[in-house]
Structure 1
Amino acid sequence: MGKGRVEAFSDGVIAIIITIMVLELRVPEGANLAALRPLLPVFCAYVLSFIYVGIYWSNHHHMFHAVQKVNGAVLWANLHLLFWLSLLPAVTHWVGKNPLSAWPCAMYGVVLFMAAIAYFILTHVLMRHHGADSPLSKAMGWDLKGRVSVCLYLAGVGLAFVAPWLAALLYALTAAIWLVPDRRIESALSVE
């Protein structure tokens, strides 16, 4: 099977996720800067989640440049990723309404952790489908940033019950790590 429909469907779902998140932002009650203060936690949660969705979209986009074909396993692995990403608007809103509360902060980390695991599964299903000598398999190799991210998410989930602010800091730090572009796929494709 071709990859075009998977890419188009994924782009559409990701666009809807971002739209749902922005619709949770409310207009301030007043007309002065002080009216923005109660909205600040919601806005900060939105910004972090928007960055995460952007990171996943960008990496998904790059990965699918190295993909030639898909199969049923790839379709399900991709849906698994999209499922966890689709929960981001709900946990984002919960965290924004309850800033630095243990359970919302922990659940935010659980969704990030599960999305990372789902991306890992999708990557490995694609590499298995394309073979060890494929540009994708050569480019992905041992994913240090992905492994570190999973550890940081788990640490954040645990810390949410002790110091939620520290968990939030770990989630932001992990996003910052991913803001540095991953050039492995571009490098592998330019060699061919």
Structure 2
Amino acid sequence: MQALVIIDMQLEIQRRIETGLDHVNPGTPTRIAALADAFRHRGLPVLHVRHADQNPASAFHPASAGHGPMPCAEAQEGEAVFVKSTSSAFASTDLADHLRRAGIHRLVVAGAVAGFCVNSTVRAGADLGFEMTVLRDAILGFGLPDAGLSARTVLDVTLALLEADFARVLPTAEVLARIDADSFDLAD
């Protein structure tokens, strides 16, 4: 069984975009909303991952306004929400156990941020034996100006590394077309 995993689409990420930080895939929220709707329509699980920093000064502290989900990542009743304190969604949550109990072995990953939490979650998931698919145009990425790297460069390198050994990388439109097919299965 497949599940959609939405990583760290939180209000702090939206704030960073609105401040004009160099980023790629500005249509990510719209694509994630469409993916979530399609998965729900087919009765497939939609899982939410949110980052929580214990530092009260952090924008990702649970009491901070930045901790809440963006509208595209609001969990519906019955959808699992995993709150992590590490980069990988697997390291500080029971996500792997939840997936195994539910018989989920293929994950479609969307969210933020490409070079950090998406990257570490996908790698960890692959190492744990899950089949990972990353949506190339539903992943937000930011630049690393101190390293002289644009958001496009960070995203392209991250996706190339993930595709080389850890995941399939597909466009959202292809996954949506497969969901609309009679038998949705990313294995083929």
What is the TM-score with the length of structure 2 in the denominator?
Answer: 0.33
Larger Rg: 1
More strand, by proportion: 2
What is the TM-score with the length of structure 1 in the denominator?
Answer: 0.32
More helix, by proportion: 1
